[in-house]
Amino acid sequence: MKDDRTINQKLSFVSSFEHEEGLVIRLFRNKDHVLVSSAPDMLVYEYDTQGKLIHTYGKKGEGPEENMSVHNFDIDSNTYWLHNSEKKQLKKGSILGDKASINKNIKTKGEIAHWHGNLHIGLYCHPGKKIPTYFGVYDFEKDQVIRRFPIDSLIQEKPLAIFEGQNFYYAGTFSKNTNDDLLYSCNSIGYSFVFKRSGEVVVIKDFRELPYPALSLESNMFKLTPEIFTARSSCFGEPNEVMILANKNIFERRDDIFFVDIYNVQTGKYLRSISCPLSKDNERPLFISYRNQQLCVNYVDGTIAFYNIQKI
């Protein structure tokens, strides 16, 4: 497959530190700090950009690992939200410790993430279905789904069911920007969805024409593993931009060539790409997060590095 990326920017290394508290499974930016959730203890760690531990959230063992998709975490004013995917619970707590936390059982098929106020967005199934069929807007106070976004109407085509009956179908990651827009990237089907605070949904299709061709699957040209799909994460970038971490292309799944592909939030169109380096120990990137014109990259070996983005 021809690689038509437009590369007119590069990453300039700023600093890095090692997260030594287990495997990183989520990475978020909160102002100038970094929020890291990790296995096996399932706590959330807050660091400054020099690696100084500022705070630890949650209780040990609170979010058991589930197919590399553990929980989402968000701070909204003095409130924090924590999703425990195995217990199917959503927790609301106070970072000041002045209020008792509240747990509610939820029936999502996978992840749910805080949107704004008491609203969250998660993947849901219709009765009798095993595969998620819609994104639901869940109201924590009302304890019910108040709006639905059917997946088949959002993408207007049935994606290749390469994971049908398995937990990785529609697997992906959530991230949020400062405008309370929520981004969900489906790693296995090549689609991302931007849920804007206004209620509008923008669909982004991978410019490399994912999902994966059936021919490639039948001829075993590459191996489908959780590790491959975890390697493709996303975040919001500059205003009106989405950044998606991806390796070179679907026919050349090399562990040494990665890019950050950038799309327009309003139109879903591809804009440009940035080459993403390996860690100093030549490990591949796993998660990305962006804030203040700086890209934060987490690598498989636990390294968390910061890069400035410069024009070439």
Tokens matching residue 184: 């969900």
Q: How confident is the model at residue 68 (pLDDT cuts 50, 70, 90)?
A: very low
pLDDT of res. 249: 57
pLDDT of residue 79: 85
Domain map (residue ranges) of the chain: 7-311
Q: What pLDDT was estimated at residue 164?
A: 44
DSSP reduced 3-state for 299: strand
> From CA 261, how far away is CA 273, in angstroms rounded?
4
Is 48 a residue whose pLDDT tops 80? Answer: yes
What average pLDDT score do residues 280-304 get?
Answer: 89
List of residues 6+ apart from 108 with CB closer than 8 A: 88, 122, 123, 124, 136, 138
Q: Write the Ramachandran bin of 32: left for phi over 0, alpha for psi from -120 to 50, otherwise beta.
A: alpha
Query: How many Cβ atoms sit within 10 Å of the Cβ of residue 275?
Result: 14
pLDDT at 296 > cutoff 50: yes
Domain 7-311 CATH class label: mainly beta
Say which range, 42-51, 119-128, 186-195, 218-227, has the weakest mean pLDDT. Answer: 218-227
pLDDT at 225: 44
Confidence of residue 70 (pLDDT cuts 50, 70, 90): very low
Across 167-180, b (16+ Cβ under 10 Å) vs e yields ebbbbbbbbbbeeb
- In the predicted model, is pLDDT for residue 80 greater than 70? yes
The pLDDT, as a whole number, for residue 93 is 83
**Mean pLDDT of the region 31-47:** 81
Averaged pLDDT score across all residues of the chain: 78
> What mean pLDDT is predicted for residues 253-278?
86
Rounded to the nearest 5°, which phi and psi values hold at 270?
-70, 140
Tokens of 49: 């950009």
Return all residues near 248 (Cβ < 8 A) that are at least 6 apart. 3, 254, 257, 258, 259
Q: Would you say how long the chain is, in residues?
A: 312
Region 172-179: mean pLDDT is 82
Give residue 176's pLDDT. 84
- Cα-only R_g, the chain: 18
**What is the tens place of the pLDDT at every residue in 150-159?**
988 888 665 5
**Contact of 182 with 121, CB cutoff 8 Å:** yes
> How far are the Cα atoms of 17, 39, 55 from residue 48, in angstroms, in the given order?
10, 20, 10
Query: Full-prediction pTM beyond 0.85?
Result: no
pLDDT confidence of residue 1: 46
pLDDT in tens, 88-134: 778 888 877 777 778 888 877 777 888 999 999 998 888 887 778 89
